[in-house]
Amino acid sequence: MTTHQNLEVLSSPAAIASQLAKVRQHIAEAAMAAGRAPGSVRLLAVSKTFGADAVIEAVQSGQTAFGENYIQEAVEKIQALRQWLAEPAQSGQAALEWHCIGPIQSNKTRLVAEHFDWVQSVDRLKIAQRLSEQRPADLPPLQICLQVNIDGGANKSGVSPEDVLALAQVVSSLPRLVLRGLMAIPEPAPDHASARAVHARTAALMAQINAAGGLSQPLDTLSMGMSADLAPAIAAGSTMVRVGTAIFGGRG
Ligand SMILES: *Cc1c(COP(=O)(O)O)cnc(C)c1O
């Protein structure tokens, strides 16, 4: 049970608080090195495989945005955190923002539409249409990123760079979605320069989509960079890094 092990070893409040502080520092340094404002890069804490207790520790250290890959696991955690937030002791706590960053099967779109605030892993129209149709009327529109297979991995999720403009234009017109940007998960690169070069291709793609127009609003979100490639992603223009291991520890 690796998940359980992770919880025992790593969900101590002090560990998560200090790892979060290190990651924030790392982001600020990478932004400044790139001549960017530290506040221009958001941190998404990827809490997949870790329990609600670990998320609570991160919230108590000021983190509000969380990324999850496995829908069923995520929904249980979201509900647990909603209950925790409803306790009087948490009355001043800011709302949490949940991002779906894992592959979505058609039969899971309703759960995603009902529980998440963002979906970053949309790579085909059918999924986007279902999310739009199933988004409850009393919730704000779902914020969407299209996942792009930027380095052409054969077995990878993500729309191809050639097809992303057409998909963006259609998704942007769906009533209960707001298309915000692109997400990419490139293969690990051997060094900073090559990692940065791949991320720069995703950034260029977003610029091309914005230049082509036909969207309900310009894209403003580049979700790229994880624990191992934060700095090159930020150098290439990332506006949101998705960090799991460096905050919560290894997933075994
Ligand atoms: C797991 C995951 C992350 C976090 O990766 P780390 O290397 O643990 O920081 C980021 N993005 C996606 C899409 C993931 O699946």
CATH number at residue 165: 3.20.20.10
Determine the average pLDDT of the residues in 96-122: 98
Q: Is the CB of 226 under 6 A from ligand 1?
A: yes
Helices 164-171/192-212 angle, 10° precision = 50
153 band by pLDDT with thresholds 50, 70 and 90:
confident
Torsions phi, psi of 119, nearest 5?
Answer: -130, 120
CA of 226 to the centre of ligand 1 (A): 6
With the most atoms of ligand 1 within 8 angstroms of its CB, the residue from 226, 227, 240, 248 to mutate is 226
- 3-46 pLDDT tens trace: 444 444 455 667 999 999 999 999 999 999 999 999 999 999 99
- Determine which residue's CA is closest to atom 7 belonging to ligand 1: 227
Q: Which domain covers residue 110, as residue numbers?
A: 13-245
pLDDT value at 245 more than 90: yes
Domain count, the chain: 1
Per the prediction, the chain carries an average pLDDT of: 94
Helices 13-33/52-60 angle, 10° precision = 60
**Is 1 part of a structural domain of the chain?**
no
DSSP 3-state of 11 = coil
In the chain, pLDDT over 70 holds for what percent of residues? 95
Atom of ligand 1 at shortest distance to CA of 69?
15
Determine the average pLDDT of the residues in 148-172: 94
CA of 22 to the centre of ligand 1 (A): 17
182 band by pLDDT with thresholds 50, 70 and 90:
very high
**Is 252 part of a structural domain of the chain?**
no
Atom of ligand 1 at shortest distance to CA of 245?
8
Q: Is the CB of 244 under 6 A from ligand 1?
A: yes
pTM of the model: 0.94
DSSP 3-state of 94 = coil
- 49-106 pLDDT tens trace: 999 999 999 999 999 999 999 999 999 999 999 999 999 999 999 999 999 999 999 9
CA of 224 to the centre of ligand 1 (A): 10
**Is 54 part of a structural domain of the chain?**
yes
CA of 48 to the centre of ligand 1 (A): 9
Residue type, 91: S
Q: State the Cα angle at 3 between 26 and 252, rounded to 5°.
A: 60
- 187-244 pLDDT tens trace: 999 999 999 999 999 999 999 999 999 999 999 999 999 999 999 999 999 999 999 9
- Determine which residue's CA is closest to atom 6 belonging to ligand 1: 244
pLDDT value at 159 more than 50: yes
**Is 26 part of a structural domain of the chain?**
yes
**Is 212 part of a structural domain of the chain?**
yes
Nearest to 128 by CA among 88, 164, 91, 74: 164
**Is 2 part of a structural domain of the chain?**
no
Span of 12-16, 81-85, 116-120, 134-138 with lowest mean pLDDT: 12-16
Q: Is the CB of 183 under 6 A from ligand 1?
A: no
Q: What is the pLDDT of residue 6?
A: 44
Q: What is the pLDDT of residue 155?
A: 77
Atom of ligand 1 at shortest distance to CA of 243?
9
1 band by pLDDT with thresholds 50, 70 and 90:
very low
Q: Is the CB of 23 under 6 A from ligand 1?
A: no
**Is 95 part of a structural domain of the chain?**
yes
Is residue 153 a contact partner of residue 187, using CB atoms and an 8 Å limit? Answer: yes
Atom of ligand 1 at shortest distance to CA of 120?
13
**Is 7 part of a structural domain of the chain?**
no
CA of 89 to the centre of ligand 1 (A): 31
